[in-house]
Structure 1
Amino acid sequence: MLLRTGMSLVLTTVLLTPTAHAGPATPPRLPEQTGHGGAVSSVDPDATQIGIDVLRRGGNAVDAAVATAAALGVTDPFSAGIGGGGYFVYYDAHTGRVSTLDGRETAPHAADENLFVENGSPLPFAEAMTSGLAVGVPGTPRTWQQALRKWGTTSLREAMAPAQDLARRGFVVDQTFQTQIANNADRFGDFTSTRDLFLPGGKPPAVGSVFRNPELADTYRELARTGLASLHGGPIGRDVVRTVQHPPVMPGATRNVRPGKMSLLDLARYRVEERQATHVGYRGLDVYSTGPSSGGGTTVGEALNILESTDLSKMSDVDHLHRFIEATKLSFADRNRWVGDPRYSRVPTDALLSQRFADSRACLINPGAVLPAPVAAGDPHDPRPCGAAAQASPTRQDAENTTHLVVTDRWGNAVSYTLTVEAEGGSGIVVPGRGFLLNNELTDFSFVPVTPGVPDPNLPGPGKRSRSSMAPTIVLDRGELAFVVGSPGGATIITTVTQILTLHVDRKLSLLDAIRAPRASQRNSAVTPAEAAFLASAQAEGLGRLGHRFSQVADIGAATAIERLPDGRWRAVAEPSRRGGGAARVVRTG
């Protein structure tokens, strides 16, 4: 206890007295770095540096993860922030235990299964996304608070202080930040508060200019000072509710922005849920992730179990990719049928992750041909070889913008944390005077049942969490940390994490090479979305001869990872190029 208290005192002295800056200087973007003392990897160099600074000052992985996440709310606000939610996975090196926090947003208690139905028909996705209806009760601030109380060594106030300073002094705008605003300029321009913050003078800020957000700095300070009471029942909460119920639409805007149903009581009632981590064995390793309400852990786990029965290390590249694509196709069918909020549905998590069920699905894979998609879900309660239900379970549209960070510390603790506001820019609505975007997380619900006549566990409901695909992952080798990994990207998170795992574990690629490898993302559809580099490969040509069809999409994911090397050093890894490239750092190099 004395050691824990001592750490907290050190952090109080340093973090609440930020170093004076003549002007913002952006730390370098590094895709890989190796060294000692712990590591941080995120999509943003300023955020990564803040996490490294916390580790250098004596903080642990949880302290650094919260500080990094708070900084991402400043520099990557179109992917994550205090207006959203996420899933936090923690490995305790002393106990060997993996724990998870479900900080997913919840629907208002006034919501029902017809939340996105109007005149008997589901709303168009784009109209639902940019509305108050789409905004779920934020869970990110409570996640930070609970993680620090359970496993951290510092307070929320101390952990948020560096990000507060960053928001006030500003950071240098890069091409990714400007492009994200430009991509959303039409809808950002339809809200007075969003236009004022992100479109000064009617245009995105110039690359190389300094972007400051003093309103967010003040919001961070108030949240920390009140222990989040200001959000969950106080002035910030009242501003959020007012914004959801009466979106600040520009006079003369023609967009039909539907008001939402959130109340101050919804904010006061919000709770982060502690969940049992999902777990599967794969090639002698133990793979842990987050369980429902996310389908990430169950779907990655089932795909790995399907692949377990085949020695992928000895296959050709084409045959390996064929098995990978077909495994995720099958596991997505089962996700879509069975996974939802466990408070509202009996999710058969253990059955979905059983090897017996996976084997009953794996036998459907034909090594010389493609399974017609969408395929039907299997029955994990009664797995029969090559059995399936009569109805198919396709994957519906979702947004694909999130952020992921990983942290390890000198003691060997680790965090894998995925957080989001859902779409790029969330709902598009900034809370006036508060400097942050609100999520559109409720569009992750099924608007109507995916398969008519079949129960859908992902319909909206009062206080319900929509199904997620986030899969923050921790991998152990005989009880010791091997590596941590995760990615943003909506439903593509599941395929990205699975692909990285099998490339690293089965094909023996380095983590960096596994992360930068061209990607395809099969989610139980007739056509597999793939990156341009994947489509240009000889492997894609070979897959085409097996019957695979592809469509070209932009970058899939932006993964981060950290591994423990045999000599005890850490190797931090980030995307070299996707989303402008990430930032991987260690506390001490050499």
Structure 2
Amino acid sequence: MRTPSSKPLSRFFLLAALLLAPLAQAGGGAQAPAAHPPGAAIASGHALATEAGLEILRQGGNAFDAAVAVSSTLSVVEPISSGLGGGGFFLLHDVSSGQDLFLDAREYAPQSATPDKFLDKNGDLDRERSVNGPWSAAIPGLPAALVELAGKHGRLPLKASLAPAIRIAGEGFPVYARMARGYQSRREVMERYPGTREVYLRNGKPIAEGDIFRQPELANTLKLLADKGFDGFYRGETARKLLAGVKQAGGSWTAQELANYRVKLRTPIAFDYRGWKITTAPPTSSGGIALAEMLQILEGYQLKGMDPVQRTHLVVEAMRRAYRDRTFFLGDPDFTQVPQRVLLSKDYALGLRSTINPDKATPSDLLSGNPTPLEDDETTHFSIIDREGNRVAATQTVNLLYGSGLIPRGTGVLLNNEMDDFALKPGTPNAFGVMGYEANAPKPGKRPLSSMTPTFMESADKVAVLGTPGGSRIITMVLLGILGYDDGLSAQQVAALPRYHHQWLPDVIEAESGTFSPETIRGLQALGHTLKLPGDEAAGGRGSSHVWGNLQTVEWDRTTNTLSGGSDPRNPVGLAKVQAE
């Protein structure tokens, strides 16, 4: 008689153990990750924009509808940083499909904006033309992004999601200190143009802190966009006014250029860093590739608990190498062949890591090459997670403070000055003291290179959304935020992290006040680093602000199923808020 095998019985117990493991684990205190968040969280650079997004969520909208509301409201209340006359990047996670998507709503160069138009009679870069007025403005992309978000990803009509921005533009909001200071610094340029004067002057006096700032013309432009979608901005009444305003100021756009604008759907960059999946911006952003290079260099070191001098040294050396590569290889992928596969390779990062001396700074002039154009300081970012787990990281801009300064009459739309983000003359510094070459030279329809870096982080138990304005420092601020989350910091601690930056050239470490202790400063100097600190004019470089950036981040802890947000304490009008289920 055949004896029964013990294998079926052992298989039963193994299967039972596997099935019961999650239950036992949950009962023992270690909870299984939650399937969806307990509510929603939004962090943005202005409380009115955050509240606008929450208002749309309460109406049954999803994260993408809320993004339309937040973006358009920021366009009303943060004219120093962004607006319908600018562009942006939108990184999306759609929980129903599991897909990550990237909407490139960067502005593009008009047909008339050839490099020779930006040179003076001596062949030098005409700085006045590159940053002020109609010639500095590229074709806007943000309105098209709002239409795309609502039409292809949202649940609510565009009209519903734009309603808060329309209301705030009509009723007005209190002018805050940064907005008033920014106007004073750009007043001479802005008051050249009748359309701008009509918006920003009251009885001949400029806006002041505490004034109620109403923009009825912008409200009307938003209403046309809400009613007619794409055609409400890029064709018809608004388009005619934009074209007339640019022409009156001496520039040259065409109706066809406006009507031909399209948002580009691009594949996000994704890579792993120490158990985190990082999803971030592809070209025309330079941020994602640079971020991947830096983190893949740094994953070869145990940064946690490392001496602050040694940790800062290694982080700076990774920054130095990534920023050098931006120069040679990055530009609009529709016009420039970007060797993305090589730059994102861990083998390439290993090679870069091998060139780092742990005991000595690498002089930037030993890393051959030339510097690249960078993004502006005056930008804005917001982060959203909704109750289903959809998420948005969006960074938008008009480039420099108040963009070009030009508002075409009757529109309320402040135009960008993104043309200065191109390499208008090879080897000549732009407004940020940095240079570019052929990969980022202007061509009709081409989009200028950007540093905007909206980013997702995802581990087995956490999801985070983050990004920031900050010019060439955007990428390094996001890097430090990622390292902060990896160190176990909360969302608010990440938003408040002290900041430092190295961009290859000029060969200096910039830092906010109080970032480094005196001992750390002496240690970095002993390794051969030059530091540019606030008030230190002897160190060279383009200077270092007292503080910089405006990081906005939200986090979902799937183990505890809790949401939290972090709004940069450097910005008193920002708000991170959680809306409970």
Same fold per superposition (TM over 0.5): yes
Pair 285,424 (structure 1): closer, same or farther in 2 beyond 3 Å: same
CA shift, 1:364, in A, is 1.7
- What is the rounded CA distance, in whole Å, between the counterparts of 2:522 and 2:108 in structure 1? 44
Whether 2:410 is the aligned partner of 1:433: answer yes
Whether 2:561 is the aligned partner of 1:568: answer yes
Equivalent runs, 1:143-162 vs 2, <5 Å: 143-162=145-164
Q: Is the 1:329–1:523 contact (alpha carbons within 8 Å) kept by the matching residues of 2?
A: yes
CA shift, 1:295, in A, is 0.8
Equivalent runs, 1:85-104 vs 2, <5 Å: 85-104=87-106
CA shift, 1:133, in A, is 1.4
- What is the rounded CA distance, in whole Å, between the counterparts of 2:79 and 2:488 in structure 1? 35
CA RMSD of aligned residues (A): 2.0
Q: Which amino acid aligns with 2:483?
A: T
SS of aligned partner of 1:580: coil
Match of 1:29 in 2: none
Match of 1:24 in 2: none
1:443-475 alpha-carbon deviations (Å, 9 max, x no partner): 1001222399x9621000011001111100011
Whether 2:311 is the aligned partner of 1:309: answer no
Pair 94,183 (structure 1): closer, same or farther in 2 beyond 3 Å: same
Q: % of aligned pairs identical?
A: 34
Question: Aligned match of 1:420 in 377, 397, 414?
Answer: 397
Question: Aligned match of 1:172 in 162, 171, 174?
Answer: 174
Match of 1:501 in 2: 482
Pair 202,521 (structure 1): closer, same or farther in 2 beyond 3 Å: farther
CA shift, 1:102, in A, is 0.4
Which stretch shows the higher mean deviation, 209-218 or 527-536? 527-536
SS of aligned partner of 1:219: helix
Pair 509,195 (structure 1): closer, same or farther in 2 beyond 3 Å: same
Equivalent runs, 1:357-396 vs 2, <5 Å: 357-374=348-365, 376=367, 391-396=368-373
Q: Is the 2:327–2:437 contact (alpha carbons within 8 Å) kept by the matching residues of 1?
A: no
Q: Is the 2:374–2:450 contact (alpha carbons within 8 Å) kept by the matching residues of 1?
A: no
Question: Aligned match of 1:486 in 467, 472, 493?
Answer: 467
Equivalent runs, 1:547-558 vs 2, <5 Å: 547-551=528-532, 552=534, 553-554=544-545, 555-558=547-550
- What is the rounded CA distance, in whole Å, between the counterparts of 1:537 and 1:220 in structure 2? 51
Q: Is the 1:333–1:374 contact (alpha carbons within 8 Å) kept by the matching residues of 2?
A: no
Question: Aligned match of 2:446 in 464, 476, 479?
Answer: 464
Match of 1:385 in 2: none
Equivalent runs, 1:196-215 vs 2, <5 Å: 196-215=198-217
Match of 2:524 in 1: 543
Equivalent runs, 1:526-541 vs 2, <5 Å: 526-534=507-515, 538-541=519-522
Q: Is the 1:176–1:580 contact (alpha carbons within 8 Å) kept by the matching residues of 2?
A: no
Which stretch shows the higher mean deviation, 189-198 or 411-420? 189-198
- What is the rounded CA distance, in whole Å, between the counterparts of 1:265 and 1:143 in structure 2? 18
Whether 2:211 is the aligned partner of 1:220: answer no
1:141-171 alpha-carbon deviations (Å, 9 max, x no partner): 1111112222110122111111101111111
- What is the rounded CA distance, in whole Å, between the counterparts of 1:96 and 1:416 in structure 2? 16
CA shift, 1:40, in A, is 0.7
Whether 2:315 is the aligned partner of 1:324: answer yes
Q: Is the 1:504–1:514 contact (alpha carbons within 8 Å) kept by the matching residues of 2?
A: yes
Equivalent runs, 1:7-46 vs 2, <5 Å: 36-46=38-48
Pair 65,397 (structure 1): closer, same or farther in 2 beyond 3 Å: closer
Match of 1:287 in 2: 278
Q: Which amino acid aligns with 1:99?
A: L
SS of aligned partner of 1:133: helix
SS of aligned partner of 1:128: helix
Calculate the TM-score normalised by the size of structure 1.
0.85
CA shift, 1:108, in A, is 0.7
Structure 1 residue ranges (4+ consecutive) displaced by more than 6 angstroms after TM superposition: none
Q: Is the 2:125–2:425 contact (alpha carbons within 8 Å) kept by the matching residues of 1?
A: no
- What is the rounded CA distance, in whole Å, between the counterparts of 2:492 and 2:276 in structure 1? 19
- What is the rounded CA distance, in whole Å, between the counterparts of 1:396 and 1:419 in structure 2? 17
1:315-337 alpha-carbon deviations (Å, 9 max, x no partner): 11221111111111110110111
- What is the rounded CA distance, in whole Å, between the counterparts of 2:90 and 2:484 in structure 1? 24
- What is the rounded CA distance, in whole Å, between the counterparts of 1:516 and 1:465 in structure 2? 32
Pair 537,217 (structure 1): closer, same or farther in 2 beyond 3 Å: farther
Question: Aligned match of 2:82 in 80, 83, 86?
Answer: 80
1:275-330 alpha-carbon deviations (Å, 9 max, x no partner): 00011110111101111111111111111111111111131122111111111111
Gaps of 5+ in 2: 1-36, 430-435, 535-543
CA shift, 1:246, in A, is 2.5
Whether 2:336 is the aligned partner of 1:354: answer no
Q: Is the 2:421–2:450 contact (alpha carbons within 8 Å) kept by the matching residues of 1?
A: yes
CA shift, 1:545, in A, is 2.3
- What is the rounded CA distance, in whole Å, between the counterparts of 1:108 and 1:269 in structure 2? 11
Pair 245,177 (structure 1): closer, same or farther in 2 beyond 3 Å: same
SS of aligned partner of 2:392: strand
Count of aligned pairs between the two proteins = 526
Which stretch shows the higher mean deviation, 238-247 or 428-437? 238-247
Q: Is the 1:398–1:443 contact (alpha carbons within 8 Å) kept by the matching residues of 2?
A: no
SS of aligned partner of 1:138: coil
1:64-85 alpha-carbon deviations (Å, 9 max, x no partner): 0110111111110111111000
